[in-house]
Amino acid sequence: MAKPRTRALDPPGGAAHLPWHHPPAPPVPTALLISLAALLVRVLVSVGPYSGQGVAPKFGDYEAQRHWMELTIHLPSSDWYRNTSANDLAYWGLDYPPLSAYQSRLHGLLLNASLPDANWGGENGGLDVYNCISLGLTLGAIAGVLSGKELVAAALFSLSINHKQMSLYFAPAFFGHLLGKCIKRKYPLVEVMKLGFVVLGTFALVWWPFLHSYEAAMQVISRLAPFERGIYEDYVANFWCSTSVLIKWKRLFAIKPLKLMSLSATILAFLPSLVQQVRSPSNLGFLYSLLNSSISFYLFSYQVHEKSILLPLLPASLLALQEPQLYGWVMYFGLFSMYPLICRDHLLLQYIAVLGLFVLIYYSPGGSSKKGVSIPSGAKAVLSLALLCSLLLQVLYLQIEPPRRYPFLFDALIMFICFSQFVILTLYTNCKQWMLDSHSRSVGRKKDL
């Protein structure tokens, strides 16, 4: 009699033996304490200044949030994304999807009811513009996938995209993993149709006020893709900005060919990860794919902001037990890549405090910072040099004026160092994801013995 096929399980992740793991803590109090700690960190960061504070004529993110609440309360939805005498798109025009606009309207209605005569706004200090909501929806979608609730995951991820379009950074990973699962089931076409129905239904509900005409829908879409801003701005640690020292992309190419090059490079970067998940979907592979997909968009997509590094940091955090060294490394350099932006917005105290808190938790007694893959001595030397240069640059950035001929010298050096680390990260995590196939095959052979 033929032996029944056994499904290869995901390779077990490394467990973190923290002091409070024995005995296991009750889930509800633990979740409550973690939530309160996270809230406390956000409240303390919010005491500081916010991006663009006091800078005329737009006065920063706080004014943007106040303006969006005012717009969504006093104008019909048909005029939210349209340039009119009452809505000057050049002055903080809405540039996020409809779900974000509904959130602004809800906040505005609540604040208007409680403080009708106050000059209110909805922005915390720091660099946050409600990214926690879209990231939270994405995290819920990831939990849905890992727990086998794919339809819930599809709905939550669709909501995440409709809150912040940057959530598309994760789309190839969700697409590849869910398609791979559907293909391996008894009725793959039915499974794909179920997911498609949920996604289209969620999008239709969110976009309903803008679906009455093609023009109305295109007005929203045109606001979500700011191609006129150029392929990059400031000193973001991605491919286009880092190589612009040698190749003047903005000067040599018009917007249309740059869009095509950016799209092609992004697809080529995330394609290996997507293909691996279509072939061999697994929970651990899905987490690696989320990281590979999001870092591919960060490195190669069009018009990337410095704080877009927050998106790859989400799956990196979920891989912290499996890859503790990688997690610590990418978290540090992700934060360091925003250092010039943080200094410009006068958030150095918050930067030091948050980084210190992270180091304290990461290197806590009994933690997993020492665990993970063994790194060859040559690679350790290279990585240590990058770390030393980063520490030195943080001091130089504050204490020494750059040469007049190169006023952004230190910004560029920070960008080069972070870009090099992100490239190393991308190569490593793609290799690790594809190595899962050989691990699954070896597990399957052992079970057949």
Collect all residues with Cβ–Cβ distance below 8 Å to 220 and sequence separation of at least 6: 81, 97, 98, 207, 210
Identify the pLDDT of residue 182: 96
Instruction: Give residue 78's identity as a one-letter amino acid code.
Output: S
Identify the pLDDT of residue 375: 73
Q: Model's pTM, two decimal places? A: 0.87
Asked whether 183 and 281 are in contact (CB, 8 A), the reply is no
Write phi, then psi, for 232 (nearest 5 degrees): -155, 165
Alpha-carbon distance of 58 to 41, in angstroms, equals: 28
Spell out the per-residue pLDDT of the chain, length 449, in tens.
444 444 444 444 444 444 434 566 788 888 888 889 888 888 888 788 877 777 776 677 788 888 899 999 999 998 999 988 888 888 888 989 999 999 999 988 998 888 766 655 544 655 555 788 999 999 999 999 999 999 999 999 999 999 999 999 999 999 999 999 999 999 999 999 999 999 999 999 999 999 988 999 999 998 998 788 888 878 899 999 999 989 999 899 999 999 999 999 999 999 999 999 999 999 999 999 999 999 999 999 998 988 899 999 999 999 998 899 899 999 999 999 999 999 988 889 989 999 998 888 888 876 656 566 667 777 778 888 999 999 999 999 999 999 999 999 999 999 999 999 999 999 999 999 999 977 665 555 555 44
Alpha-carbon distance of 417 to 272, in angstroms, equals: 25
What are 232's strand-pairing partners? 304
Instruction: Give residue 195's identity as a one-letter amino acid code.
Output: L
Identify the pLDDT of residue 176: 97
> Count of alpha carbons within 13 Å of 184, Cβ hemisphere only?
13
